[in-house]
Structure 1
Amino acid sequence: MTEVSEILYLLTAIFGISSFLIFILERYSHPYLPAYIASGLVIGQFVDPASFYSLAEIGIAFLVFIFGLKLEPEKLKTVVKESQAMTTVQVSAVGLLTFLAGILLGLEVMDSVYLSITTSLSSSLIGMQLLNREIEIDILHGRLAESTQLIQDMIAITAIIALNAMHSSSRTIIIHMLLGVGLLVVAGLTRRYLFSRIAELIDEERELMVLTSLGFLTGFIAVAQTLGLSTVVGAFAAGVAISKFPYNIEVIDTMEPLKDFFSILFFVSIGALVVFPSLKILLIAVVLLFLSQVVKPAVAMTVLIAQGYDKRTAHLTGLNIDQISEFSLIVAIQAFIGGLIGQDAFQGIILAASASFLISSYTSRHGEIIHQKLNWFEPFRPTNRKVREKTSAEGLEDHVILIGYDTQGKLIVEALEDEGEDLVIIENNPDRINEVMEAEENYVFGDAMDISSWDEANYRDAELIISTVPIKDVSEQIIGLETEADKIIRSNAMEEGAEFVEKVSYVEVPDLMASERLADHIKGVMEDPSYKDELRRRNLLELRKLLNEQEEK
């Protein structure tokens, strides 16, 4: 059998088994990730696991490129200080505990070092996929997790660069470190000064933009390999080099199918590397899982609460960094191939990583439920409440509470101010809070899912509550508030809107109207008591009409 035939047979097995398992999981509303890991477990019984080393590295290289493309450091600067503090404490504490655990398990010192790298760092790939929705709408815990994962990726890349020169003299290691840092600096300078000019010359030609981006990817990888650096380092640098907004958005959208393809290759490869564990390997994996899934999130939560964040933000941030880093797997694979790590430690890392990815896909999905179960977890009550900063809403009655100070929210504020209405804004985006403060509006810098934010906004005496945030959990929180205030919520899904329409005054669905029309409805609700009933009736009819049209299509 030729090499090409072997690859084709392998890909056929990967996608055939994955498709079958996804079909089953979809029927029970499970995430897809377990299907990919399980496919790898099955294929690994018939294919030499060593053949998946390169496949895993190729898959992660492209995915790291996509991650680099999505980076917007400017957006994260408002939370980077907190993320740095959390990363420092978390990496130090979890790394030290893991190292001591490795020694107690009878592992060599270098094996214990690699275990420490594995547990102390989190996965930007898993985290970004699971957090995609939260990052898109700038939810605070999404920003914190994204910023933390970026810092940890820098640590991981440093470890990978150092690993490449591990067998060399101390002078060579320093040279490799300088070359790696230099490549990242070149990527940053390209992003800042060069790529926007190239993009303007391309003049929005979609195919040419994609080809140029792929050229950057292969070019940076080639330079990295020429310098003796890892493929992953070159791929990350390439992503950073062309991550200039808004040009990166078009590249990301175009490469979405490729990203899905390489995601499958990576996760299947990790599953295929798992072998039937001995008792020692199983014990190592259990310890790594406990440290990464329990201790690491607990440390992150504690640090965030100490910095003044509310429990929900701290809990959800911790739950979204509870996985083992994909960079750590590359470090482990390269170390194993180079004879720097033992078989037991390597297999323990692979088994723990596979289990970590599976568990994380569920903890993130059910974050709200876990948060409620962890509601008792607040080690202390700090005097500085970062997410409860507010201007005074005491004494306000018959006022309006607005959730979200986005573009639509600003239009609503203008309309309400024209009517002379008192207003309190609840927002958890630090950038938007600064805008609110400059506009001298009443505000609560807090989480709409935290009842304390509503208490500070004096929701019981409000006349109207408006949400511009299209999140089902937030809408359900508003619906459940015990107040006589009228409620207007937003939904991006017509089915969801139809579910809520009889429980609130109005459900805004983007297909139904623009922000200006919503402002007119708000005025009507506040000025005419009979307007509310007519508005709800028309809203229900419009939603049903749209649903019927959708079904006919």
Structure 2
Amino acid sequence: MTLYEIVIIAIVVAAAFGFVAHLLKQPAIIGFMIAGFVIGSLAIFEIGSLEAIESLASIGITLLLFIVGLEMNFKELKHVGLVSLLTGLGQIIFTFIVGFLIITYLGFSFLPAIYIAIALTFSSTIIIIKLLSEKGDLNSLYGRISVGFLLVQDFVAILILIFLAGLQAEGGSGMNFVITLIKGFVLFGLTILVSYFLPKVLHFIGSSPELLFLFSLGWSLGIAALVNSPLIGLSKEIGGFLAGLALANSSEHFQIGIKLRPLRDFFIILFFVGLGAQLVAGSLVNIPHALLLSLFVLIGNPLIVLIIMSFLGYRSKTSFSTSLTVAQISEFGFIIMALGLAIGHVSPGDVSLVIMVGIITIFISSYLIIYNDWIYNKLKKFLVLFEFRRKKEEIDRTTVFSNHIILIGAHRLGQGILKALLETGQQFIVVDFDPKIVEKLKNKGVNILFGDASDEETQQLAGFSKAKLIISTAPSFGDNVAIFETVKRINSQTKIILTANNEWSAQEFYKLGADYVLLPHFLGGEHLAKAIKDDYKYDCLKTMKEADLASLNLF
């Protein structure tokens, strides 16, 4: 079977199952893995064909780590915050120690137990970012914390890959091990040095989108190949990461990421197809062990994150939603096991075990993340027990709010509205989850609550039931729907203004009964601010609503 035929079959089958998953409103990743399972079960591909898919999938992993490096500039690393740092490191330490004890209890020898424990340690960047983006929760409080500890975990994973590359070098003799480690840290230093000069090259070619795309692709894969060459002897994944890190400080890094993501996603689909196929190709004798370790990852990892965040003072809703994002193992786990196999420290059966754990945890955790709100509501009465300390997401309880205005989100669109509210002298409170905005406004004497507006306790503290007007600039469609439904349930007289990213969302909000929907390209924040400033009864909302409805051709 030719490479062309292999790729065509894999993509067509993946597209078919991905379409079915979308129809059933399930994560597309699930469809891709089932496609791989079907391909493997029907023995459509020979062993050589699976190896071809793995080789192509490795390009996707390299591009993934290139984009991870691209988005991991040191300014961001300094701002991940204490919660992301402690959560990321705490979960790594807990999972490794407890995982190692469980694995050795199951009868595995020392070295394989070390490798498997490390493989279970990291959470998947692919899964978390993709699912949070699909849910529209990437910019929520728990989404930002999750992305923060992913940065921490990815950085630790890269250090471990460099360490393992040292063990792989020429049989892992002491001198070669040290030389490889030195190579890794020298490359890291050179990357930091190059990052000060390379952005100038990008700025020169940035005016040509095609050239920028080709240069970025060539740079990422070229550096990956160079780092993987016998001259240096590190993995291509490390090369991809360092290539991205070198461009992280450029002003074009965001544009590069956007252009390369579709190509990355194409190869990542092959990665998941190959993963599903290997479940059949691998040994199934380890199913009991795989189920036990999967249970540990699905319960143990979220539990330690829940406990750490609770001690840091976060509410149960934020802590619980964040904790569910770590209930799977990472693509780094598969890379680490592959390196261990190449060195001779683990067996193919050990690799098969980790693949099975990966598929089980990725499958189940996808649903945990998608339906985290429903799960939280079912467990809410028990999760209150994890609120150990005075809550971080709260306001001075001596402040009494009644017949006031609530502004959800104080950056960009909300800034003009906030300015007008300050000028009116009316009582209001701002709800935001950006620590920098919260600190800045607190210093200016603004009543601001650090928290997620979709959280029930945040709504109680902000006085949703007594507000006369609520303005939501939140970008998430789901959050806006939840806010609207909550407000209308507890106080049907409250006027509600929601924000929509497109005309379809605006139509849905109006069908729900929103008093007004703010479309940023229809009406600027300053225009709305001026309207509510001059009209205390907010009769203008009806007029503006009718005008926009006519523009949207709803009737």
Q: TM-score, normalised by structure 1?
A: 0.91
Give the letter for the 1:212 counterpart: F
Cα distance in 2 for residues equivalent to 1:437 and 1:100: 47
Aligned to 1:318: 323
CA, structure 1 residues 477+28, in 2 after alignment: closer, same or farther (shift >3 Å)?
A: closer
Aligned to 1:551: none
> Are 2:193 and 1:197 equivalent residues in the alignment?
no
Cα distance in 1 for residues equivalent to 2:71 and 2:268: 16
Aligned to 2:46: 47
Aligned to 1:495: 504
Cα distance in 1 for residues equivalent to 2:532 and 2:179: 64
Aligned to 2:298: 293
Identity of aligned residues (%): 27
Cα distance in 2 for residues equivalent to 1:206 and 1:393: 55
Aligned to 2:516: 506
Q: Once the two structures are superposed, what CA deviation does each residue of 1:111-155 show, in whole Å capped at 9, x if it has no partner?
A: 211210121111112222223368986322122111211221222
Cα distance in 2 for residues equivalent to 1:279 and 1:264: 24
Q: How does 1:424-435 map to 2 (within 5 A)?
A: 424-435=429-440
CA, structure 1 residues 137+406, in 2 after alignment: closer, same or farther (shift >3 Å)?
A: farther
CA, structure 1 residues 221+394, in 2 after alignment: closer, same or farther (shift >3 Å)?
A: same
Q: 2:365 pairs with 357, 360, 365, which one? A: 360
Q: 1:210 pairs with 208, 213, 221, which one? A: 213
Q: How far has the Cα of 1:262 moved from its partner? A: 1.3
Q: Is the 8 A contact 1:18 1:35 kept in 2?
A: yes
Q: How does 1:173-322 map to 2 (within 5 A)?
A: 173-191=177-195, 193-225=196-228, 226-244=231-249, 246-275=251-280, 280-322=285-327
Q: Once the two structures are superposed, what CA deviation does each residue of 1:27-81 show, in whole Å capped at 9, x if it has no partner?
A: 2222211222122223332321445443343331122112222334434544432
Give the letter for the 1:386 counterpart: K
Q: 2:22 pairs with 26, 50, 71, which one? A: 26
CA, structure 1 residues 278+249, in 2 after alignment: closer, same or farther (shift >3 Å)?
A: closer
Q: How far has the Cα of 1:162 moved from its partner? A: 2.2
Give the letter for the 1:499 counterpart: E
Secondary structure of the corresponding residue to residue 407 of structure 2: strand
CA, structure 1 residues 530+331, in 2 after alignment: closer, same or farther (shift >3 Å)?
A: closer
* Count of residues paired in the alignment: 539
Secondary structure of the corresponding residue to residue 383 of structure 2: coil
Q: How far has the Cα of 1:442 moved from its partner? A: 0.8
Cα distance in 2 for residues equivalent to 1:244 and 1:132: 24
Secondary structure of the corresponding residue to residue 449 of structure 2: strand
Q: 1:382 pairs with 378, 388, 391, which one? A: 388
Q: 2:417 pairs with 394, 403, 412, which one? A: 412
Q: Is the 8 A contact 1:399 1:461 kept in 2?
A: yes
Aligned to 1:171: 175
Aligned to 1:119: 120
Aligned to 2:465: 460
Q: Where in structure 1 are there 5+ consecutive unaligned residues?
A: 549-553
Cα distance in 1 for residues equivalent to 2:323 and 2:74: 21
Q: How does 1:73-84 map to 2 (within 5 A)?
A: 73-75=74-76, 77-84=78-85
Give the letter for the 1:32 counterpart: A
Q: How far has the Cα of 1:468 moved from its partner? A: 0.4
Aligned to 2:525: 515
Cα distance in 2 for residues equivalent to 1:334 and 1:137: 32
Deviates more, 1:151-160 or 1:302-311: 151-160
Q: Is the 8 A contact 2:202 2:252 kept in 1?
A: yes
Secondary structure of the corresponding residue to residue 328 of structure 2: coil
Aligned to 2:427: 422
Secondary structure of the corresponding residue to residue 444 of structure 1: strand
Q: Is the 8 A contact 1:66 1:259 kept in 2?
A: no
Cα distance in 1 for residues equivalent to 2:424 and 2:305: 45
Cα distance in 2 for residues equivalent to 1:320 and 1:511: 34
Q: How far has the Cα of 1:345 moved from its partner? A: 1.9
Q: Is the 8 A contact 2:206 2:252 kept in 1?
A: no
Cα distance in 1 for residues equivalent to 2:469 and 2:432: 17
Computed over aligned residues only, the root mean square deviation of the Cα atoms, in angstroms, reads 2.4
Aligned to 2:9: 13
Deviates more, 1:435-444 or 1:472-481: 472-481
Q: Is the 8 A contact 1:305 1:378 kept in 2?
A: no
Q: TM-score, normalised by structure 2?
A: 0.90
Give the letter for the 1:421 counterpart: Q
Cα distance in 1 for residues equivalent to 2:531 and 2:386: 45
Secondary structure of the corresponding residue to residue 329 of structure 1: helix
Q: Once the two structures are superposed, what CA deviation does each residue of 1:294-351 show, in whole Å capped at 9, x if it has no partner?
A: 1101111111111111112211211112211101101112222433212332211111
Q: Is the 8 A contact 1:512 1:542 kept in 2?
A: no
